[in-house]
Amino acid sequence: MMQMTGAQLMVRLLERQGVRTIAGIPGGAILPFYDALSGSDQIRHVLARHEQGAGFMAQGMARVSGVPQVCIASSGPGATNLVTAIADACLDSIPMVVITGQVPQAMIGTDAFQEVDIYGITVPITKHNFLVRSAQELLGVMPDAFRIAMSGRPGPVLIDVPKDVQNQLITIEEGELPAPAVADSTPPLDMAAIESAAQMINAAEQPVLYLGGGVVASGAAPLAVQLAEQAGLPATMTLMGLGAMPIDHRLSIGMLGMHGARYTNFVLEESDLLIVVGARFDDRAIGRASQFCPNAKIVHIDIDASELHKIKSAHVAIHANVKCALEALLPRVQAKPRERWLAQVDSLRSRFPMQFPGQDDPRSHYGLIHAVASALDDEAIIATDVGQHQMWVAQAYPFRRPRQWLTSGGLGTMGFGLPTAIGAALAEPDRTVVCFTGDGSFKMNIQELATLAEEGLNVKIVLMNNNALGLVYQQQTLFYGKRLFASKYRTEPDFVKIAEGFGVPAVDLDKADDPRAALAEALHSPGPCLIHATIDREQFVYPMVPPGAANTEMIGG
Amino acid sequence: MIEQVADPLPQAGIAKVVLELDVNNHPGVMSHICNLFARRAFNVEGILCMPVSDGKRSRIWLLVFEDHRLEQMIRQLEKLEDVLNVRRHGAEHEVFERLEGFFH
């Protein structure tokens, strides 16, 4: 028999689950948990500077490991500050367990100090959530939270724990502790649907493989590449799917959609069969849904049954773990070179290629990304913030492995980059982690420079500074009669001084005689670094599909 | 510029459907279900919920209009952790009809 508090039980269950790093910020209602955590010799706590930072650190760890990761906050503002990071994880299907402190149960509903109904607030942005009412309940809730976060389509789960539950004493036998959670088994395969899909692939003249984030999440990237090679399928990737197939693979046709290459969207337009794997037909990927791939039949494979037929009706819909479905599909799909179709794809590629103006000039946006890629190998992890720089990196960086690329796809959260990069470096300290950011995004979680300096992690922030909200500036220029409003900053902070003030070394490429050499030196020195580069505000992201237009109505590029 | 991002929603049909849900009975289940319909802009015309058997479970009846998104809504309902199963009945199901006496 052992007696412990609810808080000690929570720590014990986290340890047994294999959690080794937690990001968070303490506060009144979560102090019993922090007191218990201080006694753990297995779990390392990383003190963030804003709860949203802690949320994205957990995301960074989860995005590179694929395993649910944990962040912690107190009640009230601590909990509400996590909301954006939770919503972001929900839209990008990132497994995360969020633990918040709550006021004591007797005070719930009294508008107590730092009381907020975080359970109610997070209903629409979590896979599931819990308000724990006794220490005994933790024995079920804690493993359930991890199981739900990692099963099926991954996502965030919130556990709200009132302070009295954390303090409540519970007496249990060692044997009563629940086993660490494992993922639910995958749904049974519909073999008739697999057969139909294989027949459609075998019969298609101009098929295209369409790979989404689910391919990365389920560890199916090698199988997807194998399917493409076996059946001669050109493959496009969504923003979340980048890295599933090496971008320089002969069958890769790059990223589709709003900022995809012209040839990519044209190849899709000509396809007669789309094999959509672990993707959800996001509007930024497919443009106007009714005009997307008008001649194509659709095979749709997804672990989330509610994604099937949601935006586009599939001719064959397969509710399955992507990896299991591809394994079953491979022996049924004929080996075909598809020379005529691939020649047509090559012809479109050479007529409407992705263009990278200024690629050889490290002071230009594409040139800077190119120079970073040239200085690193595929072991580096690349995170971004949100905006023009994000799209340029998605277009130009040579992603060659799954989980190399961390970006806020669904929610598009500015401020995502720095704390996510910190989380990635916490999970994989031996890799170089690059965070491409813009000056607008960087300022949204800039306080995490303090966490970065404290942890001394190998994170290189490449700040592409145009002193503007670049994508807003671009859209106002293109679609709002050049009426530029609230998109240019009137003052400009000295980011080099700011970084140095936080204790992070900084390099200003603007002042470097040889920016390429200065960049390489900064990237290859261990520890954190800010690399500042001014870029031209008049450079826009092209091609661009105007919001609401069909993907073939691209402008520029 | 092109303003409209999605095609307009078609008007809801006239036909009514009764959904019968078995759910875990604990505080918060109703908010999960009502929130799901609200945030996906799907009207619920009527709702009835009572505990069953030993009180560990509840049964919920929802009266909704049939439109092309109904299958999608049922799939979303089935994803909720506390929803154990969803059964679909035609408008002939009398649960709401027999309640009407309380509304006159």
Query: Please, what are the domains in chain A?
Result: 2-175 (3.40.50.970), 191-351 (3.40.50.1220), 365-534 (3.40.50.970)
**Residues of A in Cβ contact (< 8 Å) with B29:** none
pLDDT at A443 over 90: yes
Q: Which residue of B has its CA nearest to A117?
A: B28
**Residues of B in Cβ contact (< 8 Å) with A554:** none
- Per the CB < 8 A criterion, the answer to whether A55 and A86 are in contact is yes
pLDDT at A373 over 90: yes
**Half-sphere exposure for A163 (CA within 13 Å, toward CB):** 22
- pTM, rounded to two decimals: 0.96
Interface of A with B (CB under 8 A): 119-120, 123-124, 127-129, 131, 148, 283, 289-290, 304-306, 308-310, 478-480, 546-549
**Residue A12: both structure tokens together:** 């014990």
CB nearest to B28's CB, from A119, A127, A305: A119
Buried b (16+ CB within 10 A) or exposed e, A243-266: bbbbbeeebbbbbbbbbbbbbbbb
Q: Report yes or no on B80 lying in a domain.
A: yes
What phi, psi does B58 have (nearest 5°)? -130, 160
Q: Report yes or no on B84 lying in a domain.
A: yes
Q: Which residue of B has its CA nearest to A122?
A: B32
Task: Report how many domains make up chain B.
Answer: 1
Report ipTM (2 d.p.).
0.89
CB nearest to B75's CB, from A119, A131, A306: A306
Q: How would you classify residue A293: left for phi > 0, otherwise alpha for psi between -120 and 50, otherwise beta?
A: left
**Residues of B in Cβ contact (< 8 Å) with A546:** 1-2
Q: Report yes or no on B41 lying in a domain.
A: yes
Q: What is the DSSP string of A217-251?
A: HTT-HHHHHHHHHHHT--EEE-TTTTTSS-TTSTT
CB nearest to A548's CB, from B4, B31, B39: B4
pLDDT of residue B6: 62
**Helix, strand or coil for residue A360?**
coil
pLDDT of residue B13: 62
Asked whether the beta carbons of residue A306 and residue B72 sit closer than 8 angstroms, the reply is yes
pLDDT digits (tens, 9 = 90+) for A320-370: 999 999 999 999 999 999 999 999 999 999 999 999 999 999 999 999 999
Angle made by CA atoms A102, A104, A105, in degrees to the nearest 5:
100
Query: Of A305, A109, A97, A114, which Cα lies nearest the Cα of A214?
Result: A305
CB nearest to A124's CB, from B39, B75, B81: B39
**Residues of B in Cβ contact (< 8 Å) with A304:** 79
Query: Of A294, A297, A331, A307, which Cα lies nearest the Cα of A213?
Result: A307
Q: What is the DSSP string of A86-150?
A: HHHHHHTT--EEEEEEE--GGGTTTT-TT---HHHHTGGGSSEEEE--SHHHHHHHHHHHHHHHH
**Helix, strand or coil for residue A523?**
helix
Which CATH number do you get for residue B59?
A: 3.30.70.260
Q: Report yes or no on B10 lying in a domain.
A: no
Percent of chain A clearing pLDDT 90 (strictly above): 99
Average pLDDT, chain A: 97
Asked whether the beta carbons of residue B6 and residue A310 sit closer than 8 angstroms, the reply is no
CB nearest to B28's CB, from A131, A308, A546: A131
Interface of B with A (CB under 8 A): 1-7, 27-28, 31-32, 35-36, 39, 71-72, 75-76, 78-81
Q: Report yes or no on B71 lying in a domain.
A: yes
Q: Where are the beta strands (DSSP E) in A183-339?
A: 207-211, 235-237, 252-255, 273-277, 297-302, 316-319
Residue B57 belongs to what domain range? 16-96
Q: Which residues of chain B have pLDDT under 70?
A: 1-13
**Residue A359: both structure tokens together:** 């690629």
**Amino acid present at A417:** G
10 Å Cβ neighbour count for A476? 18
pLDDT of residue B103: 86
pLDDT at A136 over 60: yes
- Per the CB < 8 A criterion, the answer to whether A510 and A533 are in contact is yes
Q: What is the DSSP string of B69-93?
A: THHHHHHHHHHSTTEEEEEEEETT-
Asked whether the beta carbons of residue A548 and residue B78 sit closer than 8 angstroms, the reply is no
Buried b (16+ CB within 10 A) or exposed e, A56-68: bbbbbbbbbebbb
The Cα-based distances of A97 to A35, A152, A157, A365 in angstroms read: 20, 15, 5, 37
Asked whether the beta carbons of residue B5 and residue A306 sit closer than 8 angstroms, the reply is no
**Residues of B in Cβ contact (< 8 Å) with A283:** 5-6
DSSP 8-state class, residue A484: -
Q: How would you classify residue A104: left for phi > 0, otherwise alpha for psi between -120 and 50, otherwise beta?
A: beta
**Residue A393: both structure tokens together:** 């990196």
| Whole-angstrom distance, CA of residue A379 vs CA of residue A130 | 38
| Whole-angstrom distance, CA of residue A226 vs CA of residue A322 | 14
If you average pLDDT over residues A273-290, what whole number do you get? 96
Q: Which residue of B has its CA nearest to A545?
A: B2
pLDDT of residue A420: 98
Which of A41-55, A56-70, A398-412, B14-28 is predicted least confidently? Answer: B14-28
Asked whether the beta carbons of residue B27 and residue A131 sit closer than 8 angstroms, the reply is yes
Asked whether the beta carbons of residue B2 and residue A289 sit closer than 8 angstroms, the reply is no
| Whole-angstrom distance, CA of residue A270 vs CA of residue A207 | 9
Percent of chain A clearing pLDDT 70 (strictly above): 100
Asked whether the beta carbons of residue B71 and residue A305 sit closer than 8 angstroms, the reply is no
Q: Report yes or no on B42 lying in a domain.
A: yes
Higher confidence at residue A547 or residue A299? A299
Mutant choice from B39, B72, B77, B84 vs A, greatest count of A C-beta within 10 A: B72
CB nearest to A479's CB, from B1, B7, B75: B1
- The residue count of chain B comes to 104
Asked whether the beta carbons of residue A120 and residue B31 sit closer than 8 angstroms, the reply is yes
Asked whether the beta carbons of residue A309 and residue B32 sit closer than 8 angstroms, the reply is no
| Whole-angstrom distance, CA of residue A197 vs CA of residue A332 | 9
pLDDT at A395 over 80: yes
Asked whether the beta carbons of residue A548 and residue B2 sit closer than 8 angstroms, the reply is yes
A126 exposure class (CB count in 10 Å sphere: 0-12, 13-18, 19+): buried
Asked whether the beta carbons of residue B81 and residue A128 sit closer than 8 angstroms, the reply is yes
**Residues of B in Cβ contact (< 8 Å) with A308:** 75
pLDDT of residue B97: 87
Q: Which residue of A has its CA nearest to B79?
A: A306
Number of A–B residue contacts, CB under 8 Å: 48
The Cα-based distances of A77 to A48, A51, A293 in angstroms read: 15, 9, 46
Q: Report yes or no on B62 lying in a domain.
A: yes
**Residues of A in Cβ contact (< 8 Å) with B76:** 306
If you average pLDDT over residues A227-234, what whole number do you get? 98
